[in-house]
Structure 1
């Protein structure tokens, strides 16, 4: 028998894919580049590297060791970025706590993750005080105090304040090598049903996600790119899927990074202007708020590239953004997928696209990025044709998908049934390879034997100039099984419209064959606001339950 495995020299180094490797390039090549917090705190990458060492020493001094879970409750900050590196680099596990959950859910996630050390911003002390006696394993609290003037600690005992602890520690920490499959992070998905579920990612998965998404974002011919000349500011919270993994990519590239703290629309626009931000990502509802805040009226958005995820990019919002000069496009993924699976980037083309064609492509769910094996399948897991009309469930394999739900074997088995991760999203793929999600499996409207895509109807209604936001849900119908109903928030600065006018608006698309006649909403109801989940997505389950 011949042994075909490659020979290894005894002295050769196997190079495990660990998060610490992501720091090599920026510390060597861009040590003087800035990381900015709220426009007031500025540190260089060289200082950042030192602070990562100091944070590791501070955590070690309070008993953090290999496998300890360290939870963070903070706004988006340079400190959060330090934790993204220092905690996993020690071999500990970083839990990013969703601070928008209810108090009981926050307590549940911290307990379920087994967190022993908790870094907490002063703004969240009232929440922490309310749940402190419910936290089963947390033995050490570290206070994060922006202003150095926290007088009321709500009776909580702290091992120290973040900056003071760092100041008292050495910057030298020997980050060890260990198995690249060691868990690096844990956080919780907020499904619309049941308790939050824990997902987890290894060093190997995060490094491969970083490299591949970086390759995908730097690959277009022009536009829709993220490169070394960019200035990065997340507008997706750092507790949510590692801010889509973008802070790791921004760090590898050594670009200027801007962390805004708490999200306030006018403040975000000011940071965008003052710091020269050119690349961000957010959910559509946040961009909609930004474009309509007072500061945005005079702002120049012409150098800003924005990836929209966490839900479909409605054509109305895409048009409004493009008209302001924003290079906008869709990204798709989920908490379970680390998250990026596809990006709606334009392919190189000989002929220029019309504005309508370009809007349509940018609003697609996108092209799978490298290494992503993405299929649309029927209920028997058989592949469906890529003809732009056959729709089925999106199932996927990639090197960075969560391998299960933490301590939840039943849900994990369902997630990975048949060896592919089930997204629960319904989609079609066209001949050019572009994915278009038409719905969540549980949000599909079945009317008169036809599948109606709530997302497509939302996108069409969003194109009416009077509409600010829209959600389409299925309501029971004796005759048709279900019929679509549209819940609409109108623009304050536009002449009002009637429900009939909006139905006529959709009817035109049905008459020209864009959608079926079953997609025209039976009911249009005007509302003040639409219920959202903790990460800014439309809460369709709540809307269905509360719809009269």
Structure 2
């Protein structure tokens, strides 16, 4: 380490820590009259929001929550969840955003592993709790979250046994005076659990400093460089990514700091999402391809197409195909892709079109918008081969993406072995294979476990899915490699077709083969078998579940051609 000269410190000088409470404080400075909206049930301005956050802090303190304790939340995307992002963390407690789409057994594991002390749970998830409650070991009490109280204030009076009360009643009954303290910026702020291919879910965790810096990274790229052109004065934010999934990609922290108008849709319903888009003037969202596919194929999308031209959507979680991008852009939606993972909080790249690229024809823009993005500010990203050597950024050479950034998790809670594997060699290993161009464009080839090795060639399942997405009548597709005695592996595809189409495996293969003969596709990109299915298996966060496809659907794929 080099020798440097440090700035002299004095006991009187104040060096403010990077804390989540300081993001919240900005929301009252400039546009406190802007609104936070929950479905068609509740709305408030930032003055009331700040008051309610302080009341939540007092409520939690009254329930025995102190610094270092863990508070778990089961909820749809809501204003209550947003209040917890700030109210739980700013008293020095840890927010556990529970993935409600995990199995009950996995949820039980995460709650006991995180040592949850107080649980805030929406009434819709009570059946999950009732199935595992007797096996939960650390929880002292529960708080009911109910939507009924917004129509009838008396509706929340009937709370289950063992609950301390209903959220609205407890918050409204608490004092609105609370002075959030200063503490070390490296204090643990949040935790959530991410599933892998083997073993129990892994506990990812983040400090106040990491979430503060992630917000600054978004601020720089989204607002400073205008990668998504998000202006608090004219833009309205609505997440369509669950708030349990990496803090809704960190955007609620940014939107709150900017006192932008925010809309929280609760449970995702296509008609309501589109209604909120129109009535509340939503201009910025983020979601996984599954949700966007559902929206663009909804009959209501055609009805509202004239109102979608202001909507900007960031896609992540899974690859954005050219077919889906074109369908969205045909509706007037400005769509782009981003890249990251749970362990990176998550954003490490977002599509950024420079002045020259913005002038390109739409078809050429789609090629860029479906890339993983350009490397985000403050992120160091490299490519590494199997021997730990760096791979050149020439847009052709492939390697595993490894990163360093101020907001990457330090590891997995109480799991030093997998944490050491994550940070092997001092770089966070993503498990994604990609190329990077000299001008910082990231192009994902595949997950390391999903790349198909056939006849000595590495074939990207993502590229194959992208080709299938451009076949008229294909709504969704998934491609996996399965063992083959001659070639090692061969690609097999699952297809969901759009209503009104009568596709066949032979017609799809013929169309792909024509592109091969024209030099547009590699010869290996025609799948051996194509199976039509009503839906593609998905993970708890809406990604294509290729592990499940390979295991549970192996017999179907190998035994059936439709």
Fold conserved (TM > 0.5)?
A: yes
The CA deviation at 1:350 is: 7.3
For the pair 1:16 / 2:17, whether they are aligned, the reply is yes
For residues 4 and 539 of structure 1, the distance between their equivalents in structure 2, rounded to whole angstroms, comes to 52
For the pair 1:36 / 2:73, whether they are aligned, the reply is no
**Match in the other structure for 2:182:** 177
**Match in the other structure for 2:140:** 139
For residues 383 and 520 of structure 2, the distance between their equivalents in structure 1, rounded to whole angstroms, comes to 22
Q: Is contact 1:220-1:346 (8 Å) kept?
A: no
Q: Is contact 1:270-1:295 (8 Å) kept?
A: no
Alpha carbons of 1:17 and 1:467: their partners in 2 closer, same or farther (altered >3 Å)?
A: same
State the TM-score, normalized to the length of structure 2. 0.94
Q: Residues 87-115 of structure 1, C-alpha deviation per residue, up to 9 Å, x if partnerless?
A: 11000000000111111111111111010
Q: Is contact 1:122-1:150 (8 Å) kept?
A: no
User: What 5-or-longer segments of structure 2 have no aligned partner?
Assistant: 150-154, 556-562
Within-5 A mapping of 1:279-294? 279-294=284-299
For the pair 1:218 / 2:223, whether they are aligned, the reply is yes
**Match in the other structure for 1:446:** 453
The CA deviation at 1:24 is: 2.2
**Match in the other structure for 1:349:** 356
User: What 5-or-longer segments of structure 1 have no aligned partner?
Assistant: none
The CA deviation at 1:84 is: 0.1
For the pair 1:45 / 2:51, whether they are aligned, the reply is no
- Aligned length in residues: 544
* Structure 1 vs Structure 2 CA RMSD: 1.5
For residues 394 and 185 of structure 2, the distance between their equivalents in structure 1, rounded to whole angstroms, comes to 40
Alpha carbons of 1:166 and 1:416: their partners in 2 closer, same or farther (altered >3 Å)?
A: same
For residues 392 and 4 of structure 2, the distance between their equivalents in structure 1, rounded to whole angstroms, comes to 41
For residues 376 and 3 of structure 1, the distance between their equivalents in structure 2, rounded to whole angstroms, comes to 31
Alpha carbons of 1:48 and 1:152: their partners in 2 closer, same or farther (altered >3 Å)?
A: closer
**Match in the other structure for 2:231:** 227
For residues 511 and 158 of structure 2, the distance between their equivalents in structure 1, rounded to whole angstroms, comes to 56
For residues 505 and 152 of structure 1, the distance between their equivalents in structure 2, rounded to whole angstroms, comes to 60
Q: Residues 321-360 of structure 1, C-alpha deviation per residue, up to 9 Å, x if partnerless?
A: 1111111000111111100000012122177212221000
Q: Is contact 1:224-1:327 (8 Å) kept?
A: no
Q: Residues 266-288 of structure 1, C-alpha deviation per residue, up to 9 Å, x if partnerless?
A: 11011111100000000001011
**Match in the other structure for 1:509:** 515
For residues 522 and 397 of structure 2, the distance between their equivalents in structure 1, rounded to whole angstroms, comes to 15
Is the partner of 2:88 in helix, strand or coil?
helix
**Match in the other structure for 2:482:** 475
Within-5 A mapping of 1:109-258? 109-148=110-149, 149=155, 153=159, 156-220=161-225, 224-228=228-232, 229-258=234-263
Q: Is contact 1:70-1:94 (8 Å) kept?
A: yes
**Match in the other structure for 2:340:** 333
For residues 501 and 390 of structure 1, the distance between their equivalents in structure 2, rounded to whole angstroms, comes to 34
Is the partner of 1:216 in helix, strand or coil?
helix
For residues 333 and 513 of structure 1, the distance between their equivalents in structure 2, rounded to whole angstroms, comes to 32
For residues 250 and 169 of structure 1, the distance between their equivalents in structure 2, rounded to whole angstroms, comes to 26
Is the partner of 2:32 in helix, strand or coil?
coil
For residues 411 and 357 of structure 2, the distance between their equivalents in structure 1, rounded to whole angstroms, comes to 44
Alpha carbons of 1:471 and 1:167: their partners in 2 closer, same or farther (altered >3 Å)?
A: same
Q: Residues 160-199 of structure 1, C-alpha deviation per residue, up to 9 Å, x if partnerless?
A: 1111111111111111101000000000002243211100
Q: Residues 289-320 of structure 1, C-alpha deviation per residue, up to 9 Å, x if partnerless?
A: 01122321211210000000001001000001
State the TM-score, normalized to the length of structure 1. 0.97
The CA deviation at 1:151 is: 7.5
For residues 356 and 454 of structure 2, the distance between their equivalents in structure 1, rounded to whole angstroms, comes to 39
The CA deviation at 1:127 is: 1.3
Q: Is contact 2:194-2:202 (8 Å) kept?
A: yes
For residues 108 and 333 of structure 1, the distance between their equivalents in structure 2, rounded to whole angstroms, comes to 25
**Match in the other structure for 2:530:** 524
